[in-house]
Chains A and B, each alone.
Chain A
Amino acid sequence: MERKQYEELSNALKIDVKVLTAKRIQTQKERVLQSVRNLPAVQIPKKRIGFCEFMLRQIPFMGRDLWMSQGFAALMVFGVLYLSLDGELDYLSIRHIPLMLGILAIMLVMTSIPLLLRPYRYQMHEIELASRQSLWKLLAAELILLMAEDLVVFGISAGIAAGIAGLSAVKVTMYFLLPLLMAGTGCAQLIRRTSGWEEVSQRIGLCEGYCGLLAAVLLLLYRTKPAVYDKIGAWVICAVILFPLFVLSIGMWLKDSAEVGERTGMVDAALYYQSE
Protein backbone atom coordinates (compact mmCIF):
# COMPACT_ATOMS: atom_id res chain seq x y z
CA MET A 1 0.00 0.00 0.00
CA GLU A 2 2.72 2.40 1.08
CA ARG A 3 4.88 1.38 -1.89
CA LYS A 4 2.02 2.19 -4.28
CA GLN A 5 1.79 5.73 -2.94
CA TYR A 6 5.53 6.29 -3.34
CA GLU A 7 5.32 4.91 -6.90
CA GLU A 8 2.52 7.38 -7.59
CA LEU A 9 4.73 10.24 -6.38
CA SER A 10 7.62 8.97 -8.42
CA ASN A 11 5.43 8.94 -11.55
CA ALA A 12 4.10 12.40 -10.79
CA LEU A 13 7.64 13.71 -10.51
CA LYS A 14 8.59 12.49 -13.98
CA ILE A 15 8.04 15.84 -15.65
CA ASP A 16 8.69 16.48 -19.32
CA VAL A 17 9.61 20.16 -19.17
CA LYS A 18 9.52 20.58 -22.97
CA VAL A 19 5.76 19.99 -23.23
CA LEU A 20 4.69 22.04 -20.23
CA THR A 21 1.99 24.59 -20.96
CA ALA A 22 0.40 26.80 -18.29
CA LYS A 23 -2.52 24.39 -17.93
CA ARG A 24 -0.25 21.36 -17.79
CA ILE A 25 1.94 23.02 -15.14
CA GLN A 26 -1.11 23.40 -12.88
CA THR A 27 -2.25 19.81 -13.52
CA GLN A 28 1.27 18.54 -12.89
CA LYS A 29 1.57 20.63 -9.73
CA GLU A 30 -1.75 19.30 -8.42
CA ARG A 31 -0.70 15.73 -9.20
CA VAL A 32 2.55 16.09 -7.29
CA LEU A 33 0.86 17.82 -4.36
CA GLN A 34 -1.86 15.18 -4.20
CA SER A 35 0.72 12.38 -4.28
CA VAL A 36 2.61 14.04 -1.44
CA ARG A 37 -0.60 14.49 0.55
CA ASN A 38 -1.36 10.79 0.14
CA LEU A 39 1.96 9.70 1.63
CA PRO A 40 1.44 8.03 5.01
CA ALA A 41 4.29 10.06 6.44
CA VAL A 42 2.50 13.29 5.57
CA GLN A 43 -1.10 12.34 6.21
CA ILE A 44 -2.48 13.10 9.64
CA PRO A 45 -4.59 10.08 10.48
CA LYS A 46 -8.17 11.10 11.17
CA LYS A 47 -10.66 8.41 11.96
CA ARG A 48 -13.84 8.97 10.02
CA ILE A 49 -16.96 6.83 9.80
CA GLY A 50 -18.07 5.21 6.56
CA PHE A 51 -21.46 5.43 4.86
CA CYS A 52 -22.97 2.41 6.65
CA GLU A 53 -22.23 3.76 10.11
CA PHE A 54 -23.38 7.19 9.02
CA MET A 55 -26.65 5.68 7.83
CA LEU A 56 -27.21 3.81 11.08
CA ARG A 57 -26.51 6.95 13.06
CA GLN A 58 -29.32 8.68 11.18
CA ILE A 59 -31.94 6.36 12.67
CA PRO A 60 -32.48 8.32 15.91
CA PHE A 61 -32.63 11.58 13.98
CA MET A 62 -35.12 10.50 11.36
CA GLY A 63 -37.77 11.17 13.85
CA ARG A 64 -40.36 9.33 15.79
CA ASP A 65 -42.85 11.65 14.10
CA LEU A 66 -42.18 10.05 10.73
CA TRP A 67 -42.54 6.49 11.94
CA MET A 68 -45.55 7.42 13.99
CA SER A 69 -47.20 9.07 11.00
CA GLN A 70 -46.37 6.11 8.75
CA GLY A 71 -47.64 3.67 11.34
CA PHE A 72 -50.74 5.80 11.69
CA ALA A 73 -51.18 5.79 7.91
CA ALA A 74 -50.96 1.99 7.79
CA LEU A 75 -53.44 1.70 10.65
CA MET A 76 -55.78 4.14 8.90
CA VAL A 77 -55.83 2.03 5.76
CA PHE A 78 -56.65 -1.08 7.70
CA GLY A 79 -59.06 0.80 9.95
CA VAL A 80 -61.06 2.29 7.08
CA LEU A 81 -61.33 -1.08 5.40
CA TYR A 82 -62.23 -2.80 8.67
CA LEU A 83 -65.00 -0.31 9.35
CA SER A 84 -66.28 -0.36 5.79
CA LEU A 85 -66.52 -4.13 6.03
CA ASP A 86 -68.30 -3.95 9.39
CA GLY A 87 -65.43 -5.80 11.03
CA GLU A 88 -65.90 -8.81 8.80
CA LEU A 89 -62.36 -9.32 7.57
CA ASP A 90 -63.46 -12.41 5.73
CA TYR A 91 -65.04 -10.06 3.22
CA LEU A 92 -61.61 -8.53 2.59
CA SER A 93 -61.65 -10.41 -0.61
CA ILE A 94 -59.34 -10.45 -3.56
CA ARG A 95 -61.13 -7.36 -4.87
CA HIS A 96 -60.21 -5.10 -1.93
CA ILE A 97 -56.60 -6.15 -1.41
CA PRO A 98 -55.09 -4.37 -4.46
CA LEU A 99 -56.64 -1.04 -3.48
CA MET A 100 -55.51 -1.41 0.11
CA LEU A 101 -51.90 -2.18 -0.89
CA GLY A 102 -51.82 0.66 -3.44
CA ILE A 103 -53.14 3.25 -1.00
CA LEU A 104 -50.70 2.02 1.62
CA ALA A 105 -47.73 2.42 -0.77
CA ILE A 106 -48.82 5.95 -1.69
CA MET A 107 -49.29 6.88 1.95
CA LEU A 108 -45.77 5.69 2.77
CA VAL A 109 -44.36 7.99 0.07
CA MET A 110 -46.59 10.85 1.18
CA THR A 111 -45.40 10.69 4.76
CA SER A 112 -41.73 10.54 3.69
CA ILE A 113 -41.77 13.81 1.73
CA PRO A 114 -41.65 16.22 4.72
CA LEU A 115 -38.63 14.32 6.06
CA LEU A 116 -36.77 14.45 2.76
CA LEU A 117 -37.41 18.17 2.35
CA ARG A 118 -36.72 19.17 5.92
CA PRO A 119 -33.14 20.39 5.27
CA TYR A 120 -34.63 23.12 3.06
CA ARG A 121 -37.62 23.74 5.27
CA TYR A 122 -35.49 24.31 8.36
CA GLN A 123 -32.51 25.96 6.59
CA MET A 124 -30.14 23.14 7.44
CA HIS A 125 -29.13 22.37 3.86
CA GLU A 126 -26.09 24.68 3.69
CA ILE A 127 -24.50 23.19 6.79
CA GLU A 128 -25.33 19.68 5.59
CA LEU A 129 -23.91 20.38 2.14
CA ALA A 130 -20.62 21.66 3.52
CA SER A 131 -20.11 18.63 5.77
CA ARG A 132 -17.96 15.62 4.91
CA GLN A 133 -20.90 13.33 4.12
CA SER A 134 -22.76 16.13 2.38
CA LEU A 135 -26.47 16.45 1.70
CA TRP A 136 -26.71 13.90 -1.08
CA LYS A 137 -25.33 11.14 1.13
CA LEU A 138 -27.69 12.18 3.90
CA LEU A 139 -30.65 11.94 1.51
CA ALA A 140 -29.35 8.62 0.16
CA ALA A 141 -29.08 7.27 3.72
CA GLU A 142 -32.60 8.44 4.54
CA LEU A 143 -33.97 6.93 1.33
CA ILE A 144 -32.35 3.56 2.07
CA LEU A 145 -33.75 3.57 5.60
CA LEU A 146 -37.18 4.56 4.32
CA MET A 147 -37.08 1.81 1.70
CA ALA A 148 -36.10 -0.71 4.36
CA GLU A 149 -39.05 0.43 6.43
CA ASP A 150 -41.35 0.26 3.40
CA LEU A 151 -40.14 -3.27 2.82
CA VAL A 152 -41.05 -4.28 6.36
CA VAL A 153 -44.48 -2.67 6.07
CA PHE A 154 -44.94 -4.34 2.70
CA GLY A 155 -43.86 -7.71 4.13
CA ILE A 156 -46.39 -7.52 6.93
CA SER A 157 -49.21 -6.25 4.67
CA ALA A 158 -48.40 -8.76 1.95
CA GLY A 159 -48.38 -11.57 4.51
CA ILE A 160 -51.80 -10.50 5.80
CA ALA A 161 -53.14 -9.98 2.27
CA ALA A 162 -51.86 -13.29 0.97
CA GLY A 163 -53.14 -15.05 4.06
CA ILE A 164 -56.64 -13.61 3.74
CA ALA A 165 -57.12 -13.61 0.00
CA GLY A 166 -54.63 -16.25 -1.10
CA LEU A 167 -53.07 -13.97 -3.71
CA SER A 168 -49.85 -14.87 -5.46
CA ALA A 169 -46.59 -13.17 -4.43
CA VAL A 170 -46.30 -11.51 -7.88
CA LYS A 171 -49.76 -9.96 -7.62
CA VAL A 172 -49.24 -8.73 -4.06
CA THR A 173 -45.85 -7.26 -5.03
CA MET A 174 -47.22 -5.49 -8.10
CA TYR A 175 -50.25 -4.01 -6.31
CA PHE A 176 -47.83 -2.43 -3.83
CA LEU A 177 -44.81 -1.73 -6.06
CA LEU A 178 -46.44 0.02 -9.02
CA PRO A 179 -48.21 2.73 -6.98
CA LEU A 180 -45.01 3.12 -4.91
CA LEU A 181 -42.93 3.63 -8.06
CA MET A 182 -45.46 6.05 -9.52
CA ALA A 183 -45.65 8.10 -6.35
CA GLY A 184 -41.87 7.99 -5.81
CA THR A 185 -40.95 8.94 -9.40
CA GLY A 186 -43.50 11.74 -9.53
CA CYS A 187 -42.45 13.19 -6.18
CA ALA A 188 -38.72 13.02 -7.05
CA GLN A 189 -39.42 14.89 -10.29
CA LEU A 190 -41.62 17.46 -8.54
CA ILE A 191 -38.96 18.03 -5.89
CA ARG A 192 -36.31 18.53 -8.59
CA ARG A 193 -38.44 20.86 -10.67
CA THR A 194 -39.46 23.03 -7.74
CA SER A 195 -35.88 23.31 -6.48
CA GLY A 196 -35.30 26.84 -5.18
CA TRP A 197 -38.96 27.59 -4.40
CA GLU A 198 -38.86 29.86 -1.42
CA GLU A 199 -41.82 28.22 0.31
CA VAL A 200 -40.85 24.63 1.02
CA SER A 201 -44.33 23.96 2.36
CA GLN A 202 -45.64 24.59 -1.17
CA ARG A 203 -43.26 21.93 -2.53
CA ILE A 204 -44.44 19.50 0.12
CA GLY A 205 -48.05 20.41 -0.66
CA LEU A 206 -47.51 19.79 -4.36
CA CYS A 207 -46.07 16.33 -3.74
CA GLU A 208 -48.84 15.47 -1.30
CA GLY A 209 -51.40 16.69 -3.82
CA TYR A 210 -49.88 14.50 -6.52
CA CYS A 211 -49.96 11.49 -4.19
CA GLY A 212 -53.54 12.28 -3.29
CA LEU A 213 -54.42 12.38 -6.97
CA LEU A 214 -52.79 9.00 -7.52
CA ALA A 215 -54.76 7.55 -4.63
CA ALA A 216 -57.94 9.01 -6.13
CA VAL A 217 -57.15 7.38 -9.49
CA LEU A 218 -56.65 4.02 -7.77
CA LEU A 219 -59.96 4.46 -5.99
CA LEU A 220 -61.68 5.39 -9.23
CA LEU A 221 -60.29 2.32 -10.96
CA TYR A 222 -61.41 0.22 -8.01
CA ARG A 223 -64.94 1.62 -8.28
CA THR A 224 -65.41 1.80 -12.06
CA LYS A 225 -63.00 -0.66 -13.69
CA PRO A 226 -62.03 -3.31 -11.15
CA ALA A 227 -61.02 -5.60 -14.01
CA VAL A 228 -57.84 -3.56 -14.37
CA TYR A 229 -56.57 -5.21 -11.21
CA ASP A 230 -56.80 -8.62 -12.83
CA LYS A 231 -54.52 -7.71 -15.74
CA ILE A 232 -51.37 -8.45 -13.81
CA GLY A 233 -49.27 -8.66 -16.99
CA ALA A 234 -49.93 -4.97 -17.66
CA TRP A 235 -48.97 -4.14 -14.06
CA VAL A 236 -45.66 -5.99 -14.50
CA ILE A 237 -44.91 -4.17 -17.79
CA CYS A 238 -45.70 -0.79 -16.23
CA ALA A 239 -43.48 -1.57 -13.24
CA VAL A 240 -40.63 -2.69 -15.51
CA ILE A 241 -40.89 0.57 -17.49
CA LEU A 242 -41.24 2.71 -14.41
CA PHE A 243 -38.43 1.18 -12.36
CA PRO A 244 -35.54 2.68 -14.39
CA LEU A 245 -37.37 6.03 -14.43
CA PHE A 246 -37.69 5.85 -10.66
CA VAL A 247 -33.99 5.07 -10.20
CA LEU A 248 -33.04 7.81 -12.67
CA SER A 249 -35.25 10.40 -10.97
CA ILE A 250 -33.84 9.59 -7.56
CA GLY A 251 -30.29 9.64 -8.95
CA MET A 252 -30.82 13.03 -10.63
CA TRP A 253 -32.36 14.44 -7.50
CA LEU A 254 -29.41 13.28 -5.40
CA LYS A 255 -27.02 14.76 -7.96
CA ASP A 256 -28.85 18.10 -7.86
CA SER A 257 -28.60 18.02 -4.09
CA ALA A 258 -24.81 18.25 -4.24
CA GLU A 259 -25.01 22.02 -4.60
CA VAL A 260 -27.00 24.87 -3.05
CA GLY A 261 -30.42 23.96 -4.44
CA GLU A 262 -30.49 25.40 -7.91
CA ARG A 263 -30.91 23.82 -11.30
CA THR A 264 -31.93 26.72 -13.45
CA GLY A 265 -30.70 30.23 -13.96
CA MET A 266 -33.99 31.56 -12.70
CA VAL A 267 -33.58 29.76 -9.42
CA ASP A 268 -29.95 30.96 -9.29
CA ALA A 269 -31.10 34.55 -9.43
CA ALA A 270 -33.87 34.05 -6.89
CA LEU A 271 -31.37 32.50 -4.52
CA TYR A 272 -28.96 35.37 -4.97
CA TYR A 273 -31.46 38.11 -4.30
CA GLN A 274 -32.76 36.21 -1.32
CA SER A 275 -29.37 35.73 0.32
CA GLU A 276 -27.38 38.86 -0.40
Chain B
Amino acid sequence: MELEVCGITKQYKDKCAVNDVSLKLTPGVWGLLGANGAGKTTLMRIIAGILRPTSGCVRYDGIEIDRLKEEYRDIFGYLPQEFGFYPGFCVQDYLEYIAALKGLTRAETKKRISILLKRVSLSEVRHKKISKLSGGMRRRVGIAQALLNDPEVLVLDEPTSGLDPGERVKFRNLLSEFAHDRIVLISTHIVSDIEYIATCNAVMKEGKIIATGKTEELVRMVEGKVWSADIDGRELAVYEHQLLMVNVYNEGNGDVKVRYLSEKPVIPGSRKEEPRMEDLYLWMFPESARSDI
Protein backbone atom coordinates (compact mmCIF):
# COMPACT_ATOMS: atom_id res chain seq x y z
CA MET B 1 0.00 0.00 0.00
CA GLU B 2 1.53 3.29 -1.09
CA LEU B 3 0.24 6.77 -1.78
CA GLU B 4 2.55 8.79 -3.95
CA VAL B 5 2.34 12.54 -4.39
CA CYS B 6 4.30 13.30 -7.56
CA GLY B 7 5.45 16.86 -8.20
CA ILE B 8 2.18 18.52 -7.21
CA THR B 9 1.88 22.23 -7.92
CA LYS B 10 -1.24 24.31 -7.38
CA GLN B 11 -1.23 27.84 -8.65
CA TYR B 12 -3.96 30.32 -7.68
CA LYS B 13 -3.49 33.28 -10.00
CA ASP B 14 -0.66 35.17 -8.26
CA LYS B 15 -0.17 32.71 -5.41
CA CYS B 16 1.50 29.33 -5.56
CA ALA B 17 -0.20 27.40 -2.76
CA VAL B 18 1.65 24.13 -3.35
CA ASN B 19 4.98 24.16 -5.11
CA ASP B 20 6.32 20.95 -6.64
CA VAL B 21 5.56 18.72 -3.68
CA SER B 22 6.58 15.07 -3.82
CA LEU B 23 5.92 12.57 -1.05
CA LYS B 24 5.70 8.82 -0.75
CA LEU B 25 3.30 7.79 1.99
CA THR B 26 3.43 4.25 3.36
CA PRO B 27 1.29 2.70 6.13
CA GLY B 28 1.56 4.50 9.43
CA VAL B 29 0.67 7.91 10.81
CA TRP B 30 2.08 10.79 8.82
CA GLY B 31 2.14 14.25 10.26
CA LEU B 32 1.99 17.21 7.92
CA LEU B 33 3.23 20.12 9.93
CA GLY B 34 3.10 23.72 8.86
CA ALA B 35 2.03 27.18 9.91
CA ASN B 36 -1.29 28.64 8.77
CA GLY B 37 -1.08 29.45 5.06
CA ALA B 38 1.66 26.89 4.36
CA GLY B 39 -0.51 25.10 1.80
CA LYS B 40 -1.53 22.10 3.90
CA THR B 41 -5.25 22.31 3.20
CA THR B 42 -4.68 22.67 -0.54
CA LEU B 43 -2.40 19.62 -0.54
CA MET B 44 -4.95 17.65 1.51
CA ARG B 45 -7.71 18.54 -0.96
CA ILE B 46 -5.56 17.42 -3.86
CA ILE B 47 -4.81 14.12 -2.11
CA ALA B 48 -8.53 13.75 -1.43
CA GLY B 49 -9.12 14.12 -5.18
CA ILE B 50 -11.48 17.04 -4.74
CA LEU B 51 -9.13 19.69 -6.12
CA ARG B 52 -7.27 19.42 -9.39
CA PRO B 53 -3.58 20.30 -9.23
CA THR B 54 -2.09 22.68 -11.78
CA SER B 55 0.55 20.03 -12.45
CA GLY B 56 1.61 16.69 -11.01
CA CYS B 57 -0.50 13.79 -9.85
CA VAL B 58 -1.36 11.54 -6.93
CA ARG B 59 -0.96 7.79 -7.35
CA TYR B 60 -2.38 5.05 -5.20
CA ASP B 61 -0.48 1.79 -5.56
CA GLY B 62 1.03 3.10 -8.77
CA ILE B 63 -2.23 4.20 -10.42
CA GLU B 64 -3.34 7.82 -10.75
CA ILE B 65 -6.30 8.55 -8.48
CA ASP B 66 -8.05 10.31 -11.38
CA ARG B 67 -8.22 6.95 -13.10
CA LEU B 68 -9.24 5.02 -10.01
CA LYS B 69 -12.12 7.42 -9.30
CA GLU B 70 -14.76 5.57 -7.22
CA GLU B 71 -12.31 2.81 -6.44
CA TYR B 72 -10.05 5.34 -4.74
CA ARG B 73 -12.84 7.15 -2.94
CA ASP B 74 -13.99 3.77 -1.70
CA ILE B 75 -10.81 3.24 0.30
CA PHE B 76 -10.53 6.88 1.31
CA GLY B 77 -11.64 8.61 4.50
CA TYR B 78 -11.56 12.38 4.84
CA LEU B 79 -12.17 14.89 7.58
CA PRO B 80 -11.85 18.45 6.27
CA GLN B 81 -10.81 21.36 8.40
CA GLU B 82 -14.22 22.98 8.12
CA PHE B 83 -16.95 20.44 8.26
CA GLY B 84 -20.59 20.94 8.95
CA PHE B 85 -23.84 19.05 9.23
CA TYR B 86 -27.39 19.65 8.19
CA PRO B 87 -29.60 21.19 10.86
CA GLY B 88 -32.00 18.66 12.24
CA PHE B 89 -29.63 15.73 11.77
CA CYS B 90 -28.98 13.64 14.84
CA VAL B 91 -25.72 11.66 15.09
CA GLN B 92 -27.42 8.51 13.75
CA ASP B 93 -29.00 10.39 10.78
CA TYR B 94 -25.70 12.00 9.93
CA LEU B 95 -23.78 8.75 9.91
CA GLU B 96 -26.53 6.99 7.92
CA TYR B 97 -26.45 9.82 5.40
CA ILE B 98 -22.67 9.59 4.98
CA ALA B 99 -22.85 5.79 4.83
CA ALA B 100 -25.21 6.06 1.85
CA LEU B 101 -22.80 8.48 0.19
CA LYS B 102 -20.00 6.00 0.79
CA GLY B 103 -22.11 3.30 -0.81
CA LEU B 104 -22.46 1.07 2.23
CA THR B 105 -25.33 -1.41 2.26
CA ARG B 106 -28.00 -1.04 4.94
CA ALA B 107 -26.69 -4.04 6.90
CA GLU B 108 -23.11 -2.77 6.80
CA THR B 109 -24.25 0.73 7.72
CA LYS B 110 -25.95 -0.55 10.85
CA LYS B 111 -22.94 -2.63 11.84
CA ARG B 112 -20.32 0.06 11.19
CA ILE B 113 -22.27 2.82 12.94
CA SER B 114 -22.68 0.68 16.01
CA ILE B 115 -18.95 -0.20 16.12
CA LEU B 116 -17.77 3.34 15.48
CA LEU B 117 -20.10 5.03 17.94
CA LYS B 118 -18.73 2.76 20.64
CA ARG B 119 -15.19 3.48 19.51
CA VAL B 120 -15.64 7.24 19.69
CA SER B 121 -17.77 6.99 22.84
CA LEU B 122 -20.88 8.50 21.31
CA SER B 123 -23.33 5.59 21.63
CA GLU B 124 -25.23 7.40 24.36
CA VAL B 125 -25.89 10.46 22.22
CA ARG B 126 -26.66 8.75 18.90
CA HIS B 127 -30.18 10.20 18.83
CA LYS B 128 -29.13 13.66 19.97
CA LYS B 129 -29.03 16.47 17.44
CA ILE B 130 -25.48 17.34 16.35
CA SER B 131 -26.19 21.02 16.94
CA LYS B 132 -26.65 20.22 20.64
CA LEU B 133 -23.27 18.47 20.98
CA SER B 134 -20.04 20.02 22.27
CA GLY B 135 -17.20 20.91 19.88
CA GLY B 136 -15.24 17.84 20.93
CA MET B 137 -18.19 15.52 20.37
CA ARG B 138 -18.81 17.02 16.94
CA ARG B 139 -15.19 16.37 16.01
CA ARG B 140 -15.62 12.77 17.12
CA VAL B 141 -18.68 12.50 14.90
CA GLY B 142 -16.47 13.81 12.09
CA ILE B 143 -13.86 11.18 12.80
CA ALA B 144 -16.53 8.47 12.89
CA GLN B 145 -17.85 9.51 9.47
CA ALA B 146 -14.33 9.37 8.03
CA LEU B 147 -13.92 5.82 9.33
CA LEU B 148 -17.33 4.53 8.16
CA ASN B 149 -16.01 2.81 5.05
CA ASP B 150 -13.03 1.33 6.93
CA PRO B 151 -10.62 3.32 4.74
CA GLU B 152 -7.11 2.32 3.76
CA VAL B 153 -6.15 5.98 3.44
CA LEU B 154 -7.35 8.43 6.06
CA VAL B 155 -6.74 12.15 5.66
CA LEU B 156 -7.51 14.48 8.55
CA ASP B 157 -7.14 18.21 8.17
CA GLU B 158 -6.57 19.99 11.50
CA PRO B 159 -8.57 17.31 13.30
CA THR B 160 -8.00 18.48 16.86
CA SER B 161 -8.87 22.14 16.56
CA GLY B 162 -11.38 22.93 19.27
CA LEU B 163 -10.66 19.81 21.32
CA ASP B 164 -9.70 20.00 24.98
CA PRO B 165 -6.49 18.21 26.16
CA GLY B 166 -8.36 15.12 27.34
CA GLU B 167 -10.15 14.77 24.03
CA ARG B 168 -6.84 15.26 22.19
CA VAL B 169 -5.32 12.33 24.06
CA LYS B 170 -8.36 10.16 23.25
CA PHE B 171 -8.14 11.18 19.64
CA ARG B 172 -4.44 10.33 19.42
CA ASN B 173 -5.01 6.91 20.95
CA LEU B 174 -7.86 6.24 18.56
CA LEU B 175 -5.69 7.09 15.59
CA SER B 176 -2.73 5.04 16.77
CA GLU B 177 -5.03 2.07 17.16
CA PHE B 178 -6.51 2.60 13.72
CA ALA B 179 -3.29 3.35 11.84
CA HIS B 180 -2.04 -0.22 11.78
CA ASP B 181 -1.71 -1.27 8.11
CA ARG B 182 -3.22 1.97 6.85
CA ILE B 183 -2.01 5.33 5.70
CA VAL B 184 -3.11 8.12 8.03
CA LEU B 185 -2.18 11.68 7.12
CA ILE B 186 -2.80 14.39 9.69
CA SER B 187 -2.28 18.01 8.88
CA THR B 188 -1.80 20.24 11.85
CA HIS B 189 0.03 23.16 13.34
CA ILE B 190 -0.37 21.69 16.81
CA VAL B 191 2.88 19.83 17.38
CA SER B 192 1.65 17.65 20.25
CA ASP B 193 -0.96 16.08 17.95
CA ILE B 194 1.68 14.21 16.02
CA GLU B 195 4.79 14.27 18.18
CA TYR B 196 4.13 10.91 19.84
CA ILE B 197 2.07 9.08 17.24
CA ALA B 198 3.50 10.03 13.85
CA THR B 199 5.61 7.37 12.18
CA CYS B 200 6.90 10.02 9.85
CA ASN B 201 6.52 13.76 9.42
CA ALA B 202 6.64 16.24 6.59
CA VAL B 203 7.16 19.91 7.29
CA MET B 204 5.56 22.34 4.87
CA LYS B 205 6.43 25.98 4.44
CA GLU B 206 5.29 28.41 1.75
CA GLY B 207 3.93 25.59 -0.39
CA LYS B 208 7.04 23.44 -0.22
CA ILE B 209 8.02 20.39 1.79
CA ILE B 210 11.14 21.56 3.57
CA ALA B 211 11.85 18.46 5.65
CA THR B 212 10.65 14.88 6.00
CA GLY B 213 11.57 12.15 8.43
CA LYS B 214 10.78 10.40 11.67
CA THR B 215 10.23 12.62 14.71
CA GLU B 216 13.66 11.70 16.15
CA GLU B 217 15.37 12.44 12.83
CA LEU B 218 13.69 15.80 12.43
CA VAL B 219 14.28 16.80 16.00
CA ARG B 220 18.01 16.16 15.48
CA MET B 221 18.00 19.16 13.14
CA VAL B 222 17.81 21.45 16.17
CA GLU B 223 20.21 19.47 18.32
CA GLY B 224 22.63 21.84 20.04
CA LYS B 225 20.33 24.80 19.43
CA VAL B 226 18.00 24.42 22.39
CA TRP B 227 19.06 26.09 25.62
CA SER B 228 17.66 26.87 29.01
CA ALA B 229 18.75 29.47 31.53
CA ASP B 230 17.64 31.16 34.73
CA ILE B 231 17.43 34.91 34.45
CA ASP B 232 16.25 37.82 36.51
CA GLY B 233 12.68 38.72 35.64
CA ARG B 234 13.76 42.27 34.74
CA GLU B 235 16.04 40.97 31.98
CA LEU B 236 13.27 39.05 30.28
CA ALA B 237 12.07 41.87 28.03
CA VAL B 238 15.59 42.36 26.64
CA TYR B 239 16.10 38.69 25.83
CA GLU B 240 12.59 38.25 24.44
CA HIS B 241 13.44 40.70 21.67
CA GLN B 242 16.81 39.09 20.98
CA LEU B 243 15.98 35.41 21.17
CA LEU B 244 13.44 32.91 19.98
CA MET B 245 11.74 31.90 23.21
CA VAL B 246 10.13 28.47 23.39
CA ASN B 247 9.04 28.67 26.98
CA VAL B 248 9.08 31.22 29.79
CA TYR B 249 8.45 29.92 33.32
CA ASN B 250 8.05 32.33 36.19
CA GLU B 251 9.57 30.70 39.26
CA GLY B 252 7.79 33.01 41.66
CA ASN B 253 10.79 34.57 43.39
CA GLY B 254 11.41 37.12 40.68
CA ASP B 255 13.49 34.68 38.68
CA VAL B 256 12.42 33.32 35.33
CA LYS B 257 13.45 30.05 33.70
CA VAL B 258 13.58 30.34 29.93
CA ARG B 259 13.97 27.84 27.12
CA TYR B 260 15.24 29.39 23.92
CA LEU B 261 16.58 28.58 20.48
CA SER B 262 19.92 29.83 19.27
CA GLU B 263 22.94 28.59 17.33
CA LYS B 264 25.10 29.46 20.35
CA PRO B 265 24.29 30.05 24.03
CA VAL B 266 23.48 33.73 24.52
CA ILE B 267 22.44 33.98 28.16
CA PRO B 268 25.31 33.39 30.61
CA GLY B 269 24.94 30.04 32.41
CA SER B 270 22.83 28.49 29.64
CA ARG B 271 22.39 24.72 29.66
CA LYS B 272 21.97 22.56 26.57
CA GLU B 273 18.53 20.91 26.40
CA GLU B 274 17.15 17.82 24.68
CA PRO B 275 15.29 19.07 21.61
CA ARG B 276 11.59 18.38 21.11
CA MET B 277 9.27 18.66 18.12
CA GLU B 278 7.99 22.00 19.37
CA ASP B 279 11.55 23.39 19.25
CA LEU B 280 11.90 22.22 15.67
CA TYR B 281 8.60 23.84 14.73
CA LEU B 282 9.62 27.19 16.19
CA TRP B 283 13.04 26.93 14.57
CA MET B 284 11.40 26.44 11.20
CA PHE B 285 8.54 28.88 11.75
CA PRO B 286 10.09 31.60 13.96
CA GLU B 287 7.43 34.07 12.82
CA SER B 288 4.74 32.02 14.56
CA ALA B 289 6.48 32.61 17.93
CA ARG B 290 7.33 36.26 17.30
CA SER B 291 3.91 37.28 16.05
CA ASP B 292 2.39 36.35 19.40
CA ILE B 293 4.76 38.57 21.41
Contact = CB atoms under 8 A, between A and B. Distances in A.
B98 A48 contact: no
Q: Interface range on chain A: under 10, 10 to 19, 20 to 34, or 35 or more?
A: 35 or more
A138 B102 CA distance: 11
B42 A272 contact: yes
Interface in A36-84: 37, 46-49, 54, 57-58, 61, 63, 65
B103 A127 contact: no
A141 to B, nearest CB: 10
B50 A130 contact: yes
A116 to B, nearest CB: 13
A238 interface: no
Contacts of B176: none
Interface string B29-55: 000000011111110010011111000
Given A127-B145, A131-B102, A132-B103, A275 B85 contact: no
Contact of A276 (B39, B64, B76, B98): B39
Contact of B12 (A30, A122, A268): A268
Interface in A235-276: 259-260, 265-266, 268-269, 271-272, 275-276
B237 interface: no
Given A130-B73, A276-B41, A122 B62 contact: no
Interface string A137-160: 010000000000000000000000
Contact of B86 (A30, A124, A131): A124
Contacts of B100: 49, 54, 57-58, 61, 133
Given A30-B67, A127-B145, A134-B73, A272 B12 contact: yes
A21 interface: no
B155 to A, nearest CB: 8
Contact of B102 (A63, A129, A132, A260): A132
B78 A127 contact: yes
Given A123-B83, A269-B15, A133 B101 contact: yes
B61 to A, nearest CB: 6
Contacts of B101: 54, 127-128, 131-134, 138
A181 B220 CA distance: 66
Nearest to A61: B97
A60 to B, nearest CB: 8
A29 interface: yes
A265 B67 contact: no
Nearest to A32: B62
A29 B108 contact: no
Contacts of A48: 74, 103-105
A106 B15 CA distance: 42
B45 A126 contact: yes
Contacts of A132: 70, 73-74, 101-103, 149
A95 interface: no
B81 interface: yes
A123 B82 CA distance: 7
B233 interface: no
Contacts of B64: 30
Contacts of A63: 88
A193 interface: no
Nearest to A38: B71
A101 B73 CA distance: 43
